[in-house]
Structure 1
Amino acid sequence: MSSSDDDVPLAKTPMSKGTMNGNGHKSDGIIPKSVDKAMDKANPPVANGAPGISIRNGPMDEMEVDGPEVNGKASSKRKARGSMGKGKSYKKASDEDGEDEEPLSKRRRVSKGKKKVDSKSDSDDTPLVSKKPKAKSPTVMRKPVKASETAIGESEDSDAPLGVKLAKEKATIQKRAEKEAKAIRKEEKEGSAKKQANGTTPLSSKRKSSGVKKEDSDDDVPLSSKAAGKRNAVSKPEALTPKKKSKALKKEETEQDREAEEEEEEYRWWEDPTKGDGTKKWDTLEHAGVVFPPPYQPLPKNVQMRYDGTPMRMAPEAEEVAGFFGAMLNSTHNVENPTFQKNFFDDFTKVLKETGGATDNEGNKVNIKEFSKCDFQPIFDYYDAQRAEKKALPAAEKKQLKAEKDAAEAPYMYCMWDGRKQKVGNFRVEPPSLFRGRGDHPKTGRVKKRVQPEQITINIGSEATVPAPPDGHRWKEIKHDKEGTWLAMWQENINGAYKYVMLAANSDIKGQSDYKKFERARELKKHIDHVRKDYEKELRSEVMAERQRATAVYLIDQFALRAGNEKGDDEADTVGCCSLKFEHITLKPPNKVIFDFLGKDSIRFYDEVEVVPQVFKNLKIFKKSPKTDGDEIFDRLTTTQLNKHLSGYMTGLTAKVFRTYNASFTMANLLRDMKLTGSVAEKVVDYNEANRRVAILCNHKRTVAAAHETQMEKLGDRIKGLKYQKWRVKQMMLDIDSKIKKKGAEYFELEDDLDQEWILEHQNFLVEEQRQKIEKKFNKENEKLVAEGGKEMKHKELEERMEVADDLAKKFKKENKSGKVEAEGKGPTIEKCEASLEKLDQRIQNMLFQAKDKESNKEVALGTSKINYIDPRLTVVFSKKFDVPIEKFFSKTLREKFDWAIKSVDENWEF
């Protein structure tokens, strides 16, 4: 669609039905009222609908469908990821994560005839993790399987599905949003009037304006503390007034001043409202450039790729490309992918041709033209042996190698930005390799070429020393772009995209970017009622362009669809709302819509939703003949036009902001109504439940991870292990005092899921685990002795230490034979045993919470919601309000990234 369409009212350029104008539109410019009336009559309004909530895994009713469930041409590109090739498999049993990553039930089998567990049982006595799903069919499924009630969040204490309950909750939240928007505007209007009358800005006692704490000009009390009355001050300590200062304090401050010269004072940029408002990002910038990957080291002469059984010799450039494929033979979902194979082989043969081709060991030319005849196994074996050798290095040597690497990279890890030391993020230039991509990317398997200094542009201060390029090379260009936040950039050869060296996530600049994103979402609170009121009105507009735009905004707001951008012919066939095509939407009367397309990163987006009747009718109009597969649904709308329209409500409003606003506002409302008690583990589960509700309400989904079942089985084994410990402790109580059996026979019996076969496996595991611990400790002590100049302990010492594990094996064997467990420890008593049981019960309870949490969230992208869309300050509020360590929600990396959020708000802050 040309940009000129923005200025021409489509109402004035109607077109006849079934024709196409010069701009390529197949939709009528004007929608006659007769069309609306006819469709209203054909599809009467739906009662008890639940628009705004995904029903993807809900019941599928048989009804009239306007097209095939597998949508047209695009369906062939949306196969499930996995092994797609029929060729040879290079995967070995030991190639993956090793036995330690296998669940207990899969790695310690000692006998057959395992006791069966009824997977359909809903008994409370059956642990959640013991209900193992049936084996999955190897065939590719076109539609996601139904999830269990736990997976999609069905309420256990109500007959109403969570989808219906959340639809009502979403409607309530949106009504609250409308009231809040009106209240905010009214408050600002009254505040503006008072300011004009008094020349001052009033403080609101109802709402804090932002997470940034501003200081009044005549005192040191934060405004947020004033507005909250008796609330505690925000995390920053209040400054002492002059009256409280003393000579001793002055002396202490002098010492601190001296220390400040050695240790840089923390820069709380979020408390500086003027920082980052302009377009210029820095005045002075110094850095050391980038780190290049090491040059290619040719393979030993005896390690060669074979073609049709014959070893091949080739130039180092071609050998390196062959090595890319050979090194990853254990990644079967890549190397067995036909697209990956084809793209790799095309690039590989091209490099061969450019470098003189391949020869056998006698120097005879060999034309490599069939991928199926290539054997990369010798290359894989070589690199796999190198990996194993590196992994087996002593800890001291690994530590030394890491220290040497860190020392070499130290100058590149930090830069001086306006005189402040800032951590640099990705200062390493990507090494050459094979492009993998995500989902079904059409360029997967292509060769990512080695980046040379001549391709890299450096951005640095004009007064700073330009870092020297490697010997014999030069930089492409030196820039002094003060409006840019990048330090270096280059263009990669796969998609022609530019790669940038930026500051680390915990730097001031990155933090300010996140802060501004969430502040934009907070700003939308003032305007959301106007936006929704307008698009609801325009859903019935006679002008096709307006109706398409309103429908797109509805889908973006209600279902978190991305706006989407136009793609080139050589780019992945990914789409968003504005670029949806005829085959991407299936309509199921009376008001269900099925989306099926490749979304961001070539990940399949499949969702079944219920929409309001007017939107359903609009989509049906947008799909009217002569449109067919390949035609755009919103052919009178582009992403640029949509965002230009949205910016009319507020500066910076784009389709992206709706996802952030909806997630944060929903979480804020759920948090506001929370009154939690219980342990920290229970509160974490409650937080994750709220996060899950946000993800469901905002349609943040993910495909169930391939390793989910394995992880659940491992967790189940850990829980069973604790139950077995409980049983042993109870048996010890009987050994101490046989009269205690009066508690009842059931109290001392094994739990149902602990059969004898599993116990034998677990005992073997415990013995082996003990051996591994002893050996690891022995090796560590030896390394320390050598490092300090001493002599290593002899192997006999290790054998003596292993007697502990041997004794444990004998103990288990005796217990299995006699059925009795002797009391352990010094001075064992019934009271000590009971205390041990309490601790074990608590650990089991915590793990059951984890298991429930993990199972409930297997189809919900909690990480996406928490990191990208929910304002991190809301998580901080939860942490402080309910006294839960922030470490329970944010990893070390995320704590650094959201340092500004952690330090800038207290428990009373509101989104």
Structure 2
Amino acid sequence: MPTDSVMFSDDDRPLAAKSAPNGNNRVNAPQTNGHVKGPKDYEMSDDDQPLKPGKASPPRKRKNGAISDPLSSDDDVPLASSPAKSTKLKKQNNKEGPSKERMANKKPPKKRAKRQRDSSGSSEEDTKPPVAKKGIRKSRKIKEESAGYDSSDDDKPIAKKAGKSQVIKEEQPSFEVAKLKKRGKAMKEEGPASPMKGKGKKNEEEEEVFRWWEQDPNGDGSMKWTKLEHNGVIFPPPYEPLPSHVKLKYNGKPVDLPPEAEEVAGFYGAMLETPHAQDAVFNKNFFDDWKKVMKNHPARDGTKITSFELCDFRPLFEYFESEKAKKKAMTSEEKKAAKKAKDDMEAKYTFCLLDGRKEKVGNFRVEPPGLFRGRGEHPRKGALKSRVRPEDITLNIGKDAPIPIPNVPGNWKALQHDNTVTWLANWTENINGNHKYVFLAAGSTLKGQSDMQKFEKARELKNHVDRIRQNYQSDLKSKVMADRQRATAMYFIDKLALRAGNEKGEDEADTVGCCSLRCEHVTLEAPNSVIFDFLGKDSIRYYNKVPVEPQVFKNIRIFKENKNDDDSLFDRVNTSSLNKHLNNEMKGLTAKVFRTFNASSTFQRLLDEHKFTDATLQEKLNAYNKANREVAILCNHQRTAPKTHDQSMERMRNKYRALKYDRMKLRHALFSIEKKYKKNEKYAEDESDLDEDWIVNHEEQLKMKEIEKAEKKFARDNEKLAEDQQKPQDKSVLEDRLAVIEDDFDRLAKERGTKKATLKREKTTEKIEEMLDKLTERVKAHKLQMIDRDETKEIALGTSKINYLDPRITAAWCQTHSVPIEKIFSKTLVTKFPWAMEAAPDWKF
């Protein structure tokens, strides 16, 4: 697994967890691809839709003077307005000098304790439903929630001494195991023919799948299993020293390093030609940690390494590159043998027994040691990730299950028998102190239940969202500063799908969310525009200019008064208090549920806007991807354009020209047979973008491919004859074939510029027309693919598709419009969402 990958998916992360950011590098300039361009005027009447960002403009510095506001009045200023304060006071959580009104309406903030994450990646503080406050105002009528749902204790790591087994209070009901045919073959009989059937796989054996969504989709809310057996995790192999002739050089001389120090030097040497090695922070952190290792394991020849600039890692880099080249040069048989040996060694770790069922394990490999890469401007990039050993790992396993033996020397740190959580193993990494967990695979029962509950909770919000919006709209004018700030934060979370955010430590990247915004991140532009400019999750820049309600504009101006740029904008609100308030509005509601709700509801609306009439498959796919792209932009799911994007686009353009070349030849052949077709508008469009130089080059490449194809066929035929103990073909046979190829391409060369063509085999005009129609459709489809590929180069469509868009929307849409599900969902996603594949065609979010 990647050396610094986070062990849980985006939907498993805590809203306020302190984790290492993993995202693309910071964008250096405002770009339009970071937001959706929307209407210039904002109408609040459209409450069911997130705000559509307006036209972006370059950020400007906030002036100390207040922005004039014709709607401003003394009556609108909250009683607990914030006094001017310094950064130092802010870091002390406003412990000194709070106003009396504030003390009367809000308890002083408590010192934040280090959270334990549950198995889904959420912290206890953020996921446990808080006890409802006694002082809830009467106007807030909270509807009764359906019994049986518990969002708090799901998969929470236990906070007790390791080794104590937990008493199982009740037995999990036994379930029947049914068979689910692959690729949606088990769709309801009454429904239309499923587009989910795979081609050429009708005779495959049926795969046995536990249909939990038909038995107990919500689980029992506490106990996750009664019996659990697994084989632990796989540790990376121990370090093998480099050959004696491969040495790091210091001040031009080889250095004899012990294995411990040599291994760390090798981590850097392997990355010598990457952008990381050009980063000053990365180099400093690496050298600092490497010196600590060399302090305990000094060079055997007495060399003292004190200057990074005098170190030459080139010999190590060249050795690793040569080893990569050797692996690439392996024959296919050697590669297959190596893969089989690896698969055989890992086989027993890939599955576990959960209540007697065989379930696939997700991330069963322990991360190898290496250098932390981070994302964006992470202050810890380049630091040494220590090797994880059995003594660092706690296993969670059934009480009566056999204890697995580690594949490296050592004993497990602890054993637990907690049937209320779903993780199999956990440990703490040394870079940021984050907990790493081993879970079941994405398509497992427990993961599927978690996914389904998440989207059902988002759907449940539809029944409460109007009331919640009315409540926070009312609080936008509250005389209590804390309430007004909370309402404004909720407005942005609801309308812009912002993450809640949380405070970061000094050794973490400076990424923020809504609650942790600072004054420098928000700029006001009269009459009613707010400009956001900050680093979000994974150090992705969020730059957006949006029109807002006059009251929201006024509130932001009040919140910024008498504050420095590095002061908190919402100094009376944090993620924990916000989620507690949301839980009082609707049981289990958090800021993230709003994000999932807005993403899925927006996606459903965008798909429903398209009314397809005689649309091609590619046009339908482009419409789907366009809707997905708008949701990804709303959620700020950006990425850096792939390094190979330009080469990929050039290959697509060449294929596009090649299709047009084939179409041109067919048109000219048709005109040569019947001149009357020249007047037909259907065939009037020419291929004027194909210049003669490109045609010459294309025909030369076609000629080379034909010659190579003929030579390979000749060799294969002779090999087959030899196997049958027959006389091989004479070389003259190949020469005759090559001569025919030469004649064909000589003919093509003579036809250039004449607008005439002859085909290898004679065809009727009807057949040529049919071929032209098919080729024209292929040209159009390929052009749409090019447009789609280019428009999504900086948008990560997969993140929203996996974590924020209810998969039942896609499954139902595919059935309605006869789109094969495989065109949108990979095999992995079909396996991850088996419960969604059976959604009815008329299902709506």
Distance 1:392 1:811, change over 3 A: farther
The structural deviation recorded for 1:59 is: 5.8
Q: Displacement of 1:376 after TM fit? A: 2.3
The answer on 1:897 being equivalent to 2:832 is yes
1:701 deviates by: 4.8
Judging changes above 3 Å, is the alpha-carbon distance between structure 1 residues 686 and 790 closer, same or farther for their aligned structure 2 residues? Answer: same
Aligned-pair CA distance for 1:702: 4.9
Structure-2 separation of matches of 1:799 and 1:844: 40
Shift of 1:817: 5.3
SS of equivalent residue, structure 1 residue 335: helix
One-letter amino acid matched to 1:60: S
Matched, 1:280 2:223: yes
Alignment partner, residue 63 of structure 2: 66
Whether the 8 Å CA contact 1:733–1:740 is kept in 2: the answer is no
Aligned residues: 673
Counterpart for residue 846 of structure 1: 781
Equivalences for residues 406-805 of structure 1 within 5 A: 406-470=343-407, 472-625=409-562, 627-677=563-613, 678-696=615-633, 700-702=637-639, 704-733=641-670, 737=673, 739=675, 742-743=678-679, 751-767=687-703
Correspondence for 2:297: 355
Specify the code of the residue in structure 1 equivalent to 2:290. F
Identical counterparts, % of pairs: 49
Report the counterpart of residue 280 of structure 2 in structure 1: 338
Give 1:886's aligned residue: 821
Aligned residue identity for 1:840: L
Q: Give the Å deviation of 1:537.
A: 0.6
Which position in structure 2 is the counterpart of 1:258? none
Q: In the alignment, what sits opposite 1:100?
A: none
Which stretch shifts more, 561-570 or 705-714?
705-714
For 2:257, give the aligned amino acid: M
Alpha-carbon distance in 2 for matches of 1:55, 1:590? 15
Please, which moves more after superposition, 606-615 or 508-517?
606-615
**Residues 741 and 517 (structure 1), Cα distance of their counterparts in 2 relative to 1, 3 Å cut:** closer
Shift of 1:857: 3.6
Which residue does the alignment assign to 2:768? 833
> Given the alignment, which residue of 228, 249, 271 partners 1:306?
249
**Take 1:346 and 1:776, find their aligned partners in 2: how far apart are those partners?**
57
Alignment correspondent of 2:324: 387
Instruction: Assess if the C-alpha contact under 8 Å between 1:727 and 1:749 holds in 2.
Output: no
Q: Which runs of 5+ in 1 are unaligned?
A: 1-45, 69-73, 75-183, 189-232, 239-261
TM-score by length of 1: 0.67
CA deviations 1:398-438 (Å, max 9, x no partner) are 22221221111111111000111100001111111221112
Note the 1:111-150 alignment, pairs <5 A: none
- Of 187, 207, 210, which residue of structure 2 is paired with 1:235? 187
Do 2:607 and 2:623's aligned partners in 1 also have CA atoms closer than 8 Å?
Answer: no
2: CA distance between counterparts of 1:654 and 1:585?
Answer: 24
Provide closer, same or farther for how the CA distance between residues 55 and 187 of structure 1 changes in structure 2, counting only shifts above 3 A: closer
CA distance in 2, matches of 1:566, 1:503: 31
The TM-score normalised by the length of structure 2 is 0.72
Superposed displacement of residue 571, structure 1: 1.7
* Alignment match, 1:816: 749
Structure-2 change in CA distance of 1:829 and 1:567 (3 Å): same
Could you tell me whether the CA contact under 8 Å between 1:234 and 1:906 is conserved in 2?
no
**SS of the residue aligned with 1:431?**
coil
> Which residue of structure 1 aligns with residue 844 of structure 2?
910
* Paired residue type of 1:755: D
| C-alpha separation in 1, matches of 2:333 and 2:227 | 41
- Residue in 2 that maps onto 1:32: none
Question: Which one of 306, 321, 335 corresponds to residue 398 of structure 1?
Answer: 335
Q: Deviations over 1:616-647 (max 9, x none)?
A: 1111111111x103211111111100000000
Aligned to 1:289: 232
Deviations for 1:515-541, whole angstroms, at most 9, x for unmatched residues?
011010011011101110011110011
Give the Å deviation of 1:827: 3.8
Aligned counterparts of 2:476 and 2:215: Cα–Cα separation in 1: 43
Write the distance in 1 (CA, Å) between the matches of 2:238 and 2:726. Answer: 40
Which amino acid counterpart does residue 799 of structure 2 have in structure 1? T
Contact 2:542 2:636 in 1 (8 A): no
- Write out per-residue CA displacement over residues 19-53 of structure 1, whole angstroms, 9 at most, x where no aligned residue: xxxxxxxxxxxxxxxxxxxxxxxxxxx99446754
Q: What letter corresponds to residue 458 of structure 1 in structure 2?
A: L
Residues 289 and 488 in structure 1, CA contact (< 8 A), matched pair in contact too: yes
Pairwise CA distance, 1:507? 0.5
Q: Could you tell me how far apart the structure 1 residues matched to 2:546 and 2:512 are? A: 18
CA shift at 1:587, angstroms? 1.5
Q: Is the 8 A contact 1:280 1:482 kept in 2?
A: yes
CA drift of 1:486 comes to: 0.7
Cα distance in 2, alignment partners of residues 411 and 557 from structure 1 = 46
CA shift, 1:324, in A, is 1.5
Q: Residue 578 of structure 2 aligns to which amino acid in structure 1?
A: L
Q: 1:313 to 1:725 in 2, by over 3 A?
A: farther
Partners of 2:307 and 2:734 in 1: CA distance: 57
Closer, same or farther: CA 590–425 of 1 in aligned 2, 3 Å: same
Match of 1:193 in 2: none
Q: Alpha carbons of 1:582 and 1:347: their partners in 2 closer, same or farther (altered >3 Å)?
A: same
Q: Distance in 2 between matches of 1:54 and 1:901?
A: 29
1:738-775 Cα shifts (integer Å, max 9, x gaps): 85685589969962321223233333444555577779
Q: Identify which range, 545-554 or 846-855, moves more after superposition.
A: 846-855
Q: How many angstroms apart in 2 are the aligned matches of 1:187 and 1:309?
A: 72
Are the structure 2 counterparts of residues 744 and 668 from structure 1 closer, same or farther at C-alpha, using a change threshold of 3 Å?
closer
Counterpart Cα distance in 1 of 2:379 and 2:726: 57
The whole-number CA distance in structure 1 between the counterparts of 2:419 and 2:649 is 51
Displacement of 1:557 in angstroms is: 0.4
Partner of 2:800: 865
| TM-fit CA distance, 1:289 | 1.1
Q: Which residue in the other structure is 2:812 paired with?
A: 877
Quote how far apart the aligned CAs of 1:856 are.
3.7
Could you list the runs of 5+ residues in structure 2 that have no partner in the other structure? 1-38, 45-49, 66-86, 88-141, 147-184, 191-204
Shift in CA distance, 490/897, structure 1 to aligned 2, threshold 3 Å? same
Q: Is the 8 A contact 2:143 2:586 kept in 1?
A: no
Given that residues 53 and 696 in structure 1 are in contact (C-alpha distance below 8 angstroms), is that contact kept between their aligned partners in structure 2?
no
Contact 1:321 1:433 in 2 (8 A): yes
CA distance 1:777–1:583, change in 2 (3 Å)? farther
Q: CA deviation at 1:477?
A: 0.9
Change (3 A) 1:901 1:632: same
Choose 442-451 or 502-511, whichever is displaced more.
442-451
DSSP 3-state at the match of 1:901: coil
Alignment-derived partner of residue 267 in structure 1: 210
The offset of 1:672, in angstroms, is 4.4
What CA deviation, in whole Å up to 9, does each residue of 1:223-249 have, x standing for no partner? xxxxxxxxxx993459xxxxxxxxxxx
> Measured at CA, do residues 727 and 375 of structure 1 come closer, stay the same or move farther in structure 2, by a change above 3 Å?
farther
Aligned 8 A contact 1:730 1:748 in 2: no
Check conservation: 1:413, 1:427, Cα contact below 8 A.
yes
Bigger proportion of residues as helix: 1
| Secondary structure of residue in 2 paired with 1:546 | helix
The structure-2 alpha-carbon separation of the partners of 1:797 and 1:861, relative to structure 1 and needing over 3 Å to count, comes to: farther
Please state whether the residue corresponding to 2:359 is helix, strand or coil. strand
